[in-house]
Chain A
């Protein structure tokens, strides 16, 4: 069926909604595809894809769906007739289909896990167990419309998810944050105050009304100073090798912070594993390209809000011991934990963003240090929920 292409696109991570899908149907009715596959391809691309970043995914999906007919550039009339007819019959259950589908998917995954525990032997055919053929929702080469495929070829192209591939990861709101969601979150970092050294350039309506009234109704304008955001922000990034897997999300965070121009001041420093005597000024963390942590504590006052981004995972000695700094030749008299405690005490409004998924905080390599640091700094995962909670905490302070 044709609307499987819709689900296929979504499973490829494209955020196609019914809105766009209906627009495509309308376009097909208007014969905008020129009855050719190329025309159809361009039409789909223009209507369904909304970012150049998604185009590659779209192409992959398109190839996957239309493989086999790619050489027959001309569709026959029957094909287009069937497509146009398709539009009319689909209307009734269009609306609820998507939600049901997602619910069903979660439910299906849950059932899949249960069934896996239950099942003890091989099954072919049938409608309940995980197996081949058959109409059960799980297994492969079967005939259920929406099911989980376990291995094998998808013979009917109807299994909506290949177990283990996690194609639907992007559906989850708490998965990967976009630059936009970061920016929206950082916008909340605002605290307004009338800045005394700015020109009075905004019309003060209340005062104008009052003055005009006092002036027996003769217009008399009053001006006030514009309000400015007074939030100062310091961000420390962990640039240790263990952060490499989170490079992409940290980059997004970095870009959205550095592009936000509404802070009164923004300082970005880098550290290697843990904060010691120095904070680096470039992400390469090279010797000499640094400022003393002491200097930062002296010069950047308590008004700064502090965000630390790191996995907080390291060997216990790196956090707790003198000379724990893993960089050769960088013996430290003060253990990392002391520095962290000092920073936390000094910067009352501080939080820690940890890109490691929250459910792994108990088990990840270095979870001991993670737990210790978590007791010092309020720690949040880099998810939509974590981001919101973290920023809220950062505005509220203790």
Chain B
């Protein structure tokens, strides 16, 4: 599909991609646009970047976004305090501002000698305006350092993977520049494969019953936080350790392992008792 077969991603031996995801990755590489990956926690968003890096034999640079992260940090930081300090105590070459410019993750990826894979992890954690502040840099693959009047331009355009947990909605202008893929929550078949990796010796009956109950619970749309893969694995652990009879699994014992929010527990018990819930705006 892409003429340059060298740069095509087909998954790796530890990471199996769906055909859609594989295509999305290759489209984003070919069109030189960032790939935005959304999906529920535990669907392997972060793993994808690692898999791409190892499959294409490129270095991976990870920029973890936190609520306080500023776009500027990804480009460069100018360490004024260090320079002031050095100027007083005569250490270092104070005249050379360049010595006090520290490149951020984005800058690092731009100046790398070979093409890299840049993972901007959990971009939705940052401030609402954060993605907008990166538009130019991701578009043009360059930024300007005011202090040295130099422009840092990407030697090789990095493959940019961005993940989001949809905690905040991202601005349209930013979305317009991305290739988008939503990793769907694994269905029962895929889930069985995943569970097999973690519990190779699990009794089939327990698994069937548990999966059925699990997906029925997930189907409810009045839950604030739906249980994910890791909750299911914990729950299976609890079920096997307690040795609960298979027939009782559908009553959802150890519900606290699956539901993590008080409101969800309340809603659920209310539904169990009355058959409906009045907790409308949760």
A residues at B contact (CB < 8 Å):
15, 17, 19-20, 23, 26-27, 30-32, 34, 39, 42-43, 45-47, 49-52, 55, 178-180, 183-184, 187, 218-219, 237, 239, 247, 250-251, 254, 282-284, 286
User: In whole Å, how far is B9's beta carbon from the nearest beta carbon of chain A?
Assistant: 13
B278 near A286 (CB under 8 angstroms)? yes
In the complex, which residue of chain B has the Cβ closest to the Cβ of A251?
B281
Q: How many residues of B contact A (CB 8 A)?
A: 36
Interface centre among B1, B27, B30, B282 (most CB of A within 10 A): B27
Residues of chain A within 8 A of B85, CB atoms compared: 219
User: In whole Å, how far is B261's beta carbon from the nearest beta carbon of chain A?
Assistant: 13
Interface of B is mostly: mixed
Q: List 10 A-B contacts (CB under 8 A).
A: A19-B177, A32-B2, A32-B26, A32-B27, A39-B1, A39-B23, A49-B180, A51-B180, A250-B281, A251-B281
Q: A52-B182, A183-B168, A184-B128 are in contact. List 5 more A-B contacts (CB 8 A).
A: A23-B31, A27-B30, A46-B23, A47-B31, A250-B281
B27 near A180 (CB under 8 angstroms)? no
CA distance A30 to B19 in the complex (A): 19
B179 near A46 (CB under 8 angstroms)? yes
Partner pick for A50 among B28, B128, B168, B180, CB 8 A cutoff: B180
> How many A-B contacts if CB must be within 8 Å?
89
CA distance A219 to B1 in the complex (A): 61
Residues of chain B within 8 A of A30, CB atoms compared: 2-3, 30-31
Partner pick for A282 among B23, B180, B279, CB 8 A cutoff: B279
CA distance A290 to B102 in the complex (A): 56
Partner pick for B279 among A32, A237, A284, CB 8 A cutoff: A284
A180 near B1 (CB under 8 angstroms)? no
Partner pick for B38 among A46, A52, A218, CB 8 A cutoff: A52
Residues of chain B within 8 A of A247, CB atoms compared: 280
Residues of chain A within 8 A of B28, CB atoms compared: 46
In the complex, which residue of chain A has the Cβ closest to the Cβ of B171?
A180
With contacts A46-B179, A46-B181 taken as known, whether A15 is within 8 angstroms of B172 at the C-beta atoms is yes
B23 near A43 (CB under 8 angstroms)? yes
CA distance A189 to B29 in the complex (A): 41
User: In whole Å, how far is B171's beta carbon from the nearest beta carbon of chain A?
Assistant: 7
B178 near A50 (CB under 8 angstroms)? yes
Does B14 make an interface contact (CB < 8 A)?
no
Residues of chain A within 8 A of B178, CB atoms compared: 50
Does B248 make an interface contact (CB < 8 A)?
no
Q: Which 6 A-B pairs have the closest CB atoms?
A: A284-B278, A180-B169, A50-B175, A52-B182, A283-B281, A46-B24
A47 near B278 (CB under 8 angstroms)? no
Residues of chain A within 8 A of B97, CB atoms compared: none
Does B193 make an interface contact (CB < 8 A)?
no
Partner pick for B1 among A17, A26, A34, A49, CB 8 A cutoff: A34
CA distance A239 to B282 in the complex (A): 13
Does B33 make an interface contact (CB < 8 A)?
yes
Does B77 make an interface contact (CB < 8 A)?
no
With contacts A47-B31, A50-B178 taken as known, whether A237 is within 8 angstroms of B24 at the C-beta atoms is no
CA distance A393 to B24 in the complex (A): 46
Please provide the chain B residues from 41 to 90 with a CB less than 8 Å away from any CB of chain A in the complex.
Answer: 84-85, 88
With contacts A42-B20, A43-B23, A184-B128 taken as known, whether A219 is within 8 angstroms of B278 at the C-beta atoms is no
Does B95 make an interface contact (CB < 8 A)?
no
A27 near B27 (CB under 8 angstroms)? yes
Residues of chain B within 8 A of A15, CB atoms compared: 172
Residues of chain B within 8 A of A219, CB atoms compared: 84-85, 88
CA distance A39 to B30 in the complex (A): 15
In the complex, which residue of chain B has the Cβ closest to the Cβ of A42?
B23
In the complex, which residue of chain A has the Cβ closest to the Cβ of B84?
A219
